A and B are shown apart, each in its own frame.
Chain A
Amino acid sequence: MEAVLELRAIAKEYTGHRAVDNVSLRLERGGFYCLLGPSGCGKTTTLRMVGGFEQPTSGEILLGGATVTGLRPWQRDVSTVFQNYALFPHLTALRNIEFGLRERRAADAREKALRALELVQLSAKRDSLPAQLSGGEKQRVALARSLVLEPQLLLLDEPLAALDPRLRKAMRAELKAMQRKTGITFLFVTHDQEEALSMSDKMAVMNKGRIEQFGTPEEVYLRPSTAFVAGFLGAINWFGKAGVRPEATRVAYTAPEGLPARRGTVESRLFLGNCIHVHARLAEGGQAICEVARDERQFTEGEEVWLHWHPADELRFE
């Protein structure tokens, strides 16, 4: 497969600190990619370097096989959906979408913009100013404004962060569908592991300016390559050097035969709707969470229990 974006050992140094440290990445055309990491891990800086808003201190950025290092934003065939959408407040939804087309002197700017509005189901709002649009609508206009230019690569900088939680979940499916429909490669930056897991074809997990793991959501979740990745993607119970996810941890009143197990006391039960989390204090110190079915009536506060797991579910790191 042809690479649409290739980062070759890019780094960004600010005085006294490396925001991005030797990042290499290869994105194939037509995929949905996520850059996941905690705030300050360098994911946004990486995205801004791809967009051309920042220049890397060292390394090379290739877009469609040609180097774009040093090119300014308007010289690159990428487009960004900003976290706050950055819609032009003085222009209507339609005019916002036309902005880039007019800059390119596209002859059929109006028709293309109208079709883009239709794609994001906002035809009725064509003459509304951004101030008259809801958060979700603004987000769609921003998306249409970038998609209408048919860039090689679409960059999305935490575009769902400003939406309310319910809308955020609905937008995940919508974004993914949009990506499939247009065939444009998406690079989506987020600090929400659920978002990254649910949308990505492949995801890169960043920490302290470096990529710790790059793989499919299943690979990253089930076979995390570092303790950081394991912990960032979901809760994890530490039994000595072995890490076990709560859903792979079992709870019983007696020690099962032939399986690794630890003694503990139930501290609390949290009903989460679709399941129950039993929090246990381990006899050897530390805490563990065990996910049980929501109709489970046993294992109440103060009871002595055994926590056990299957060795195949153990995550081990050097």
Chain B
Amino acid sequence: MNTRWWFLLPARVWTALFLLAPLGIVGAYSVLTRGDYGGVEAPWTMESYTRLIDPLYLAILWRSVWMATLSTVLCALLGFPLALFIARAGRRKNLWLQLVLLPFWTSFLVRTYAWLFILRDTGLVNTVLQRLHVIRTPLPLLYNDGAVLLGLVYSFLPFFVLPVYAALERLDGSLAEAAADLGARPLSTLRRVILPLSAPGIAAGCVLVFIPCLGSYLTPDLLGGGKTVMVGNLIQNQFTTARDWPFGSATSLVLMLVSALALLMMMRSPATKEML
């Protein structure tokens, strides 16, 4: 037993207790039969997995992937310019960073609820528009895909901005100057120098947004009004109302698999590979 082994011990115990053991439990549950009042019973069965092939569930899974992809793209489109702006803000840099992090000062739940007050029929947006006589009847801003997307992008934007900011901040300013000097206009410099060099940050940002979006539960539940079911809601449902723990466990494992696949794909993309 050398020192190295002892130093790694806490990490190993932690991984075993809080990652492998729960994962094992979920794995075991997924191949057992549901109990009448929740829980699991014998015998072993693959039924939960075969049920997942049902088009209804595949549609939910597909819809989750689609929403997560859309959120990631929107976060990238909004987050990259913001990160670039902050990286070049000079002495104001820290102020802008603090503002990006400001939402984390309150709970995620409270912030999502706040959107309810902004978007609902008698909420801020509709009231103001009605007072200004822009609209007569309230706009349906809440309980649809748009609201869920808005909530997801709002919640996860900082997770995109921070790694991209870190990548851009490390970039040597003279590289952009060199590109301009060699005849590149700003857009060309962005495409040929800044984007390729911040690719690892962008890939990290995409992963940090895509994976939590894929498994998100609270945002679609509150802002989608139960109509916009994503896989997170499906899982939650199985463990509470439906009391079908094996099916919930199977769905969880499939979600993990999809996330892992997405992670693998992003890590293998040419943009990131070039930098590794």
Contacts and interface: CB of A to CB of B under 8 A. Distances in A.
A225 to B, nearest CB: 33
B182 interface: yes
A279 to B, nearest CB: 42
A103 B178 contact: no
Given A84-B172, A86-B172, A74 B185 contact: yes
A97 to B, nearest CB: 10
B32 interface: no
B172 A103 contact: no
Interface in B173-212: 174-175, 177-185, 188, 192-193, 196-197
A238 interface: no
Contact of A149 (B178, B183, B192): B183
Interface string A76-116: 00111010101111100000000110011000000000000
A74 B172 contact: no
Range for the number of chain B residues in contact with chain A:
10 to 19
Contacts of A104: 183
Interface string B143-184: 000000000000000000000000000001011011111111
Nearest to A53: B177
B275 interface: yes
Contacts of B188: 103
A151 B274 CA distance: 32
A74 B189 CA distance: 11
Interface residues of A, number: 23
Given A82-B174, A84-B174, A73 B181 contact: yes
Main secondary structure of the interface of B (DSSP, over half): helix
A60 B58 CA distance: 69
Nearest to B173: A86
B184 A74 contact: yes
A51 interface: yes
Interface in A16-69: 51-53
A45 to B, nearest CB: 14
Q: Among B174, B181, B183, which residue has the most Cβ atoms of chain A within 10 A?
A: B181
Given A103-B188, A104-B183, A149-B183, A73 B177 contact: yes
Interface in A98-150: 99-100, 103-104, 145-146, 149
A103 B185 CA distance: 9
Contacts of B178: 80, 82, 86-88
A103 B275 contact: no
A128 to B, nearest CB: 15
Nearest to B189: A74
Contact of A88 (B175, B181, B183): B175
Contacts of A51: 181
Interface string B244-262: 0000000000000000000
Contacts of B184: 74, 99-100, 103
16 contacts: A52-B181, A53-B177, A74-B183, A74-B184, A80-B178, A80-B181, A84-B172, A86-B175, A88-B175, A90-B275, A100-B182, A100-B184, A103-B182, A103-B183, A104-B183, A146-B181
